[in-house]
């Protein structure tokens, strides 16, 4: 242990020979191997001597030698740093060489990504500054596994006001996003003896794999009205995982009669419904539809997150939990050993001050403009292409029935330097029931590059 104030540097010196030579070679090896990258500031000669138990003169001489050889640079006021162009370039295998030569697409139109440029920096900074000044001491500890009561209280009110969710703050569990919520629920359902979960087909592959790690996952097809409850009944599932507000990736909302059928299934079989309120905040052409949870709080687990509304950098989500599941869910959350109390308090502050609502109104306008621009570009440049799932959310499905194959569609887009996802990537059953289609996210790239991205996509697809 030393009292050195500069950056720490881990170096292993052999126990034989000159200590100065050993230090020089150790530094050369660290630079050659890329462990010390160009521009890295090294400790002062005094600090490094204290860290390694050497004399300051030994370190000074080693630094001077490496500066003379071009490994290091030394300037008054900026200290000693690793020189540029000193790391060796490792030899590539054939496979890695091919990957390295494949240029990344210029435009990112993949779904599930919000506009990072829209992050509410000022509002978040104000809220966080307030939290750091005013947070109680216990907010810096582990605390209640359900999350801070301040956030759970304002969330219960906010979700009731905007999504129709009926939940007591005591029955809210704050987590780090929908993925963690689904993982915790899979753990709880397994403990309760559940064996099979029915999940929409198509669906997010990561979520399917997460559930499949603990439960048998039955692929339940969807149609224009949403999840097919007849197929859910036939699957023998005890849990239904669905996206009633905005099905991912097809984009439809669950029809009223289908919602009633799903509730009847839960009542008849005592099954659980996990409601992923995917893109529930982003509706453009009609008023939002209340969460399904509002009609059966005792059987529906409602989950949402800030990953699309604020951004994935703020890893916060929530679970409105039926009373029968609360104790095992809180215990599963406790075992996760995760608490983001300062972020939770900052979000609570934003909601209380109305900053969260104002931010949502702003980004809604921006996303609606992006959606309208996409639809207009496709209708003008690709009149035979059908655009689906545009009532809500941050993505649309482009159907190209005359395309030779979905793979050809994806390759044409990527040849135009546009990164997109094929619909088939999310389908687990019969892929032939859908024409060749792309799932196009319209929240990225940034607004100034968005028209150029659409132009590139249209040009690429027109070549088919």
**178 phi/psi in degrees, rounded to 5:** -65, -35
Where in the chain are all domains bearing CATH 1.10.10.10?
A: 1-93
Q: Which CATH number describes the domain made up of 119-357?
A: 3.40.640.10
**Residue 84 to residues 92, 272, 334, Cα–Cα distance (Å):** 21, 59, 47
Q: How far apart are CA 87 and CA 32, in angstroms?
A: 4
**38 phi/psi in degrees, rounded to 5:** -55, 135
Instruction: Summarize pLDDT for 156-207 with one digit per residue, the tens.
Output: 999 999 999 999 999 999 999 999 999 999 999 999 999 999 999 999 999 9
Where in the chain are all domains bearing CATH 3.90.1150.10?
A: 107-116+361-462
Beta bridge partners of 242: 275
Instruction: Summarize pLDDT for 273-315 with one digit per residue, the tens.
Output: 999 998 888 888 877 789 999 999 999 999 999 999 999 999 9
Quote the pLDDT of residue 101: 44
Q: How far apart are CA 113 and CA 290, in angstroms?
A: 24
Q: How far apart are CA 174 and CA 334, in angstroms?
A: 11
Quote the pLDDT of residue 337: 78
Looking at domain 107-116+361-462, which CATH architecture does it have? Answer: Alpha-Beta Complex (3.90)
Q: Which CATH number describes the domain made up of 1-93?
A: 1.10.10.10
Where in the chain are all domains bearing CATH 3.40.640.10?
A: 119-357
Chain centre to alpha carbon of residue 449: 22
In which element (H, E) is residue 366 found? Answer: helix 355-381
Quote the pLDDT of residue 95: 44
The low-confidence residues of the chain, meaning pLDDT below 50, are: 1-4, 91-101
Q: Decide if 117 contacts 446 (C-beta within 8 A).
A: yes
């Amino acid at each position: 242990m030393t009292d050195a104030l500069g950056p720490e540097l881990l170096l292993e010196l052999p126990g034989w020979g000159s200590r100065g030579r050993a230090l020089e070679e150790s530094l050369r090896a660290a630079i050659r191997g890329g462990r010390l990258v160009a521009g890295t500031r090294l400790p002062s000669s005094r600090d490094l001597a204290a860290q390694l138990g050497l004399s300051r003169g030994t370190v000074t001489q080693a630094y001077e030698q490496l500066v003379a050889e071009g490994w290091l640079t030394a300037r008054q006021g900026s200290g000693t740093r690793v020189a540029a162009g000193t790391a060796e370039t490792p030899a590539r295998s054939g496979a890695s060489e091919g990957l390295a030569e494949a240029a990344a697409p210029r435009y990112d139109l993949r779904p599930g990504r919000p506009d990072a440029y829209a992050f509410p920096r000022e509002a978040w900074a104000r809220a966080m500054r307030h939290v750091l000044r005013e947070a109680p001491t216990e907010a810096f500890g582990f605390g209640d596994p359900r999350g801070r009561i301040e956030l759970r209280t304002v969330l219960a009110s906010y979700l009731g006001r905007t999504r129709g969710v009926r939940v007591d703050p005591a029955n809210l569990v704050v987590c780090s996003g929908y993925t963690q919520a689904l993982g915790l629920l899979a753990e709880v359902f397994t403990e309760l003896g559940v064996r099979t979960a029915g999940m929409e087909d198509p669906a997010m592959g990561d979520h399917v794999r997460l559930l499949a790690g603990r439960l048998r996952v039955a692929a339940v097809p969807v149609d224009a009205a949403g999840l097919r409850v007849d197929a859910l009944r036939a699957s023998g599932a005890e849990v239904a995982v669905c996206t009633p507000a905005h099905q991912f990736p097809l984009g439809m909302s669950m029809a009223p009669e289908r919602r009633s059928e799903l509730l009847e299934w839960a009542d008849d079989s005592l099954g659980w419904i996990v409601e992923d309120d995917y893109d529930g905040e982003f509706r453009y052409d009609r008023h939002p539809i209340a969460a399904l949870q509002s009609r059966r709080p005792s059987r529906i687990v409602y989950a949402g997150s800030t990953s699309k509304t604020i951004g994935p950098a703020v890893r916060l989500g929530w679970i409105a939990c039926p009373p029968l599941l609360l104790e095992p869910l809180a215990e599963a959350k406790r075992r996760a050993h995760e608490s983001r109390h300062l972020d939770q308090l900052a979000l609570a502050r934003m909601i209380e001050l109305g900053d969260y609502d104002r931010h949502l109104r702003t980004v809604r306008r921006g996303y609606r403009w992006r959606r309208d621009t996409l639809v207009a570009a496709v209708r003008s440049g690709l009149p035979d292409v059908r655009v689906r799932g545009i009532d809500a959310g941050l993505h649309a499905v482009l159907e190209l029935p005359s395309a030779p194959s979905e793979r050809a569609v994806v390759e044409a887009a990527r040849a135009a330097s546009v990164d997109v996802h094929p619909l088939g990537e999310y389908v687990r059953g019969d892929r032939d029931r859908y024409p060749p289609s792309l799932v196009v996210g319209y929240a990225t790239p940034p607004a100034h590059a968005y028209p150029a991205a659409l132009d590139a996509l249209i040009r690429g697809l027109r070549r088919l």
